[in-house]
Amino acid sequence: MESIWQIISDTYTGYYNYLVNEIMAPGWSNYFYYLIILSLVVWGLELLFPWRKNQKAFRKDFWLDGFYMFFNFFLFAFAISGIYKLIEIGLGSIGLTSSSLAVIPMDALPKVIQLLIFFLLLDFVQWFTHVLLHRVPLFWQFHKVHHSVKEMGFAAHLRYHWMENILYKPLKTLVVMLIGGFEPEMAYIVHFAAIAIGHINHANIYWTYGPLKYIINNPQMHIWHHAKHLPENYRYGVNFGISLSIWDYIFRTDYIPYSGRDIELGYDDDQDMPDSFWGQFVAPFTQIFRKKAH
């Protein structure tokens, strides 16, 4: 039987080979080039149809957010892959696997219905986790990094502290394990769609989806999520939707008083957030330790 260290080593080697293959051999499910092409397309829409016409093409922190895209989706994923493998082994050793936890049998349902159920469940879990990021003081310290964006653009979508991966991943994994008969191809479709919607939500474009704005999240709704000044009864935030806006309308966390095109973005004391990646990497931990010391 392989040792734990050998399994971890093989996991890192496997992820490294996967990433090299993504870069060198593009395919239909190639996430690396999908992210690049999607970003260029949405950025092109920003340049052609800007909502805030005075905003520069290379807006404030454009390159910082660009780095976050590759760090969070590739570099951090590589760094943490061995830990996730250990967790998977640990759960398997006590009998917790996808088949053992499945409570929603999907095998007999049409593929389209399976995909819809998976998308809805996963998006609701992410909406709920997003609410927790705002309401739990410890989590908010990490989520502040995302809200330090002062000018919205597509890449702001992926400016977030790596600890958010730790907070989101367990609940998302649980959803996958609860769905019996789930096929990996669905993860590609749902994830690719979520990234596209997220890019558009943060982009400097005017896009509402018409009547579907009550179902699908959009830039005019999401910009209020980043508003620096909100009424006291919304002090924990508004418009928490990731891909769908419907959860906010159902749970009455929606708030769009007017267009919001030129509102100030950020949060109280956002001037204390460092401008560099490394500064933002350590800032939440610094704040947490300071609060404990007092």
Distance between CA atoms of residues 91 and 68, nearest Å: 31
List residues bridging with 265 in a β-sheet: 227
pLDDT at res. 12:
81
Of the pLDDT bands very low, low, confident and very high (cuts 50, 70, 90), residue 178 is: low
Q: How many domains does the chain have?
A: 1
Higher pLDDT, 6 or 218: 218
Task: Give residue 131's Cα distance to chain centre.
Answer: 13
Higher pLDDT, 265 or 109: 265
Higher pLDDT, 243 or 87: 243
pLDDT at res. 226:
98
Does residue 82 have a pLDDT over 80?
no
What is the domain extent for residue 62? 4-293
pLDDT at res. 78:
81
Does residue 88 have a pLDDT over 80?
no
Does residue 93 have a pLDDT over 70?
no
pLDDT at res. 15:
82
Residue 222 contacts residue 263 (beta carbons within 8 Å): no
Does residue 242 have a pLDDT over 90?
yes
Q: Average pLDDT for residues 236-240, to the nearest whole number?
A: 97
Q: Average pLDDT for residues 34-48, to the nearest whole number?
A: 96
Structure tokens at 185: 């191809």
Locus of tokens 């769609």: 193
State the pTM of this model: 0.88
Does residue 267 have a pLDDT over 70?
yes
Secondary structure of residue 25 in the 3-state scheme: coil
Residue 142 contacts residue 217 (beta carbons within 8 Å): no
Does residue 136 have a pLDDT over 60?
yes
Does residue 254 have a pLDDT over 70?
yes
DSSP character string of 237-283: -S---SSBSHHHHHTT----SS--TT--BS-TTGGGS-SSHHHHHHH
pLDDT at res. 202:
97
